[in-house]
């Protein structure tokens, strides 16, 4: 079986849903259910015989050691993290605690467990570290995209904490021989993303008739990948990736933030038109820029594409349309996560909920 950490979050839950739909191998989800974790993301598999859930912290060494000894997974797919850049500049400590210290504790437990396995199983064991393209820093407009050899230059407390975790993962491979693989993915989008991130935030605010906050000039560039494509890439890495290697994963869809926001608005105009011919884009509002805002990320995916045969399948325009439609069709999901603490964050970040 697999041990997945952070499976109640946006990408972890998509991975679990895809895994259980495509494989008969069982899976154990260890999640602390922070503000970003939502067990309802997995309601559709709650009674699936292959799905098991444990509420707990990756930093709880005794718990993790017990789970590994009891369930004897052949791999760990490590998603659990604090993942929001704006929250990391408002409160960095939780990011170091979860992303660096939590990953260190998980590595220690994984290493002790892997060392206890018979030689063949130990060699086949994998620790997949789900990292980010943000560890490479920011690109200028004409720069070539990030390859796996790009130097680390993290600029936010979030990316610095993910870089710290990556270095630990690398060290556990080199020092202790743990069969680790790190992946560096670009911006994901799709269903069940917590509405503090750009795309679901804009959908939520647009439907509420509120200003759509675009940081600075809105000409920052991100590369967008549908979450299901990311999960398929992780499956390929798990099956065919080489221990000690790193793989960049991207969507071949570089867009400015303003283009993304306008795409959401145009899709809403079509699917949920406003009365009187008004357009959602009229709600766009340029606000104070993010502190230390990275200008551009872009991914060179030639390694994963040529070595593991993976490439993205979902075209950005179709994926965005499906995503907007999902949020329109699932108002109860949005209602369930936009609680008091969510509104508190909006007030802290934007001055209004």
DSSP symbol at 152: P
Selected catalytic residue, list 51, 158, 247, 297: 158
Task: Tell me: does residue 173 bind ligand DAU (CB under 6 A).
Answer: no
* 2: three-class secondary structure by DSSP: strand
Task: Tell me: does residue 202 bind ligand NAD (CB under 6 A).
Answer: no
The span from the first CA to the last CA of the chain, in angstroms, equals 42
Q: From the list ligand NAD, ligand DAU, none, which binds 236 (C-beta under 5 to 8 Å, kind-based)?
A: none
Residue of 116, 307, 81, 295 lying closest to 194 (CA atoms): 81
Task: Tell me: does residue 53 bind ligand NAD (CB under 6 A).
Answer: no
CB of 344 to ligand DAU, least distance (A): 16
Taking CB under 6 A as the rule, which mask of x and - marks residues 195-224 in contact with ligand DAU? --xx--x-----------xxx----x-x--
- Alpha helices by DSSP H, the chain: 10-22, 61-71, 85-90, 93-95, 103-115, 119-124, 157-176, 198-207, 227-240, 257-271, 302-308, 316-329, 331-337, 340-350
Non-local CB neighbours of 270 within 8 Å, separated by 6+ positions: none
> 290, 291, 303, 321: which one contacts ligand DAU (CB under 6 A)?
290
Active site residue 158: yes
CB < 8 Å & 24+ apart, contacts of 171-174: 172/107, 172/110, 172/111, 172/127, 173/243, 173/244, 174/244
Q: From the list ligand DAU, ligand NAD, none, which binds 98 (C-beta under 5 to 8 Å, kind-based)?
A: ligand NAD
Residue of 149, 187, 152 lying closest to 166 (CA atoms): 152
Between helices 198-207 and 257-271, what is the axis angle to 10°? 40
Non-local CB neighbours of 213 within 8 Å, separated by 6+ positions: 201, 205, 285, 287, 350
CB of 194 to ligand DAU, least distance (A): 9
Question: How many other C-beta atoms can be found within 10 angstroms of the C-beta atom of residue 122?
Answer: 15
> 31, 166, 223, 229: which one contacts ligand NAD (CB under 6 A)?
31
Q: Take residue 174 and report the two structure tokens written for it.
A: 């080199």
294 vs 154: CA distance, rounded Å: 10
* 329: three-class secondary structure by DSSP: helix
Q: Which is nearer to ligand DAU, 186 or 283 (CB)?
A: 186
Task: Tell me: does residue 134 bind ligand DAU (CB under 6 A).
Answer: yes
CB of 125 to ligand DAU, least distance (A): 26
Neighbouring C-alpha atoms within 13 Å toward the C-beta of 351: 5
Q: From the list ligand DAU, ligand NAD, none, which binds 222 (C-beta under 5 to 8 Å, kind-based)?
A: ligand DAU
Q: From the list ligand NAD, ligand DAU, none, which binds 235 (C-beta under 5 to 8 Å, kind-based)?
A: none
Selected catalytic residue, list 31, 134, 196, 294: 134
With contacts defined by CB under 6 A, name the span among 112-120, 149-157, 184-192, 209-217 that binds ligand NAD.
184-192
> 83, 246, 253, 263: which one contacts ligand DAU (CB under 6 A)?
83
Closest-CB residue for ligand NAD?
Answer: 9
Q: Which is nearer to ligand DAU, 51 or 95 (CB)?
A: 95
352 vs 178: CA distance, rounded Å: 47
> 4, 16, 27, 36: which one contacts ligand NAD (CB under 6 A)?
36
CB of 123 to ligand NAD, least distance (A): 26
Q: Would strands 284-287 and 180-185 be described as parallel, antiparallel, or unpaired?
A: unpaired
Q: Name the residues annotated as catalytic.
A: 133-134, 158
Contact residues: ligand DAU, CB under 6 A? 83-85, 132-134, 186-187, 197-198, 201, 213-215, 220, 222, 257, 290, 297
Contact residues: ligand NAD, CB under 6 A? 5-6, 8-12, 30-34, 36-37, 57-59, 79-81, 83, 98, 102, 130, 132, 162, 185, 187-188, 194
């Amino acid at each position: 079986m697999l041990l997945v950490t952070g499976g109640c979050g946006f990408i972890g839950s998509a991975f679990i849903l895809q895994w259980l739909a495509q494989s008969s191998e069982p899976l154990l989800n260890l999640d602390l259910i922070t503000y970003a974790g939502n067990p309802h993301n997995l309601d559709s598999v709650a009674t699936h015989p292959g799905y098991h859930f444990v509420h707990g912290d990756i930093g709880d060494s005794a718990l993790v050691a017990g789970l590994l000894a009891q369930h004897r997974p052949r791999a760990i797919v490590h998603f659990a993290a604090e993942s929001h850049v704006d929250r990391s500049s408002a409160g960095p400590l939780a990011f170091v605690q979860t992303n660096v210290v939590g990953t260190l504790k998980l590595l220690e437990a994984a290493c002790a467990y892997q060392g206890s396995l018979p030689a063949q199983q130990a060699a086949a064991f994998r620790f997949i570290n789900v990292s980010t393209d943000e560890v490479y820093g920011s690109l200028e407009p004409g720069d070539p995209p990030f390859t796996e050899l790009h130097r680390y230059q993290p600029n936010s407390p979030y990316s610095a904490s993910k870089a710290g975790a990556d270095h630990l993962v690398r060290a556990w491979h080199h020092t202790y021989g743990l069969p680790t693989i790190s992946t560096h993915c670009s911006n994901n989008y799709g269903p069940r993303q917590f509405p503090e991130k750009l795309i679901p935030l804009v959908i939520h605010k647009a439907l509420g008739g509120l200003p759509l906050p675009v940081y600075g000039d809105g000409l920052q560039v991100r590369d967008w990948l549908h979450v299901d494509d990311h999960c398929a890439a992780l499956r390929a890495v798990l099956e065919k990736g080489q221990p000690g290697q790193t793989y960049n994963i991207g969507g071949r869809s570089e867009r400015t933030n303003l283009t993304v926001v306008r795409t959401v608005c145009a899709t809403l105009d079509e699917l949920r038109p406003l009365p009187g011919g008004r357009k959602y884009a009229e709600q766009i509002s340029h606000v104070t820029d993010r502190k230390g805002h990275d200008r551009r990320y872009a991914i060179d995916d030639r390694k994963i594409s040529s070595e593991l045969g993976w490439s993205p399948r979902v075209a950005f325009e179709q994926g965005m349309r499906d995503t907007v439609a999902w949020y329109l069709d699932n108002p109860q999901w949005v209602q369930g996560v936009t609680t008091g603490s969510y509104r508190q964050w909006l007030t802290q970040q934007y001055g209004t909920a």
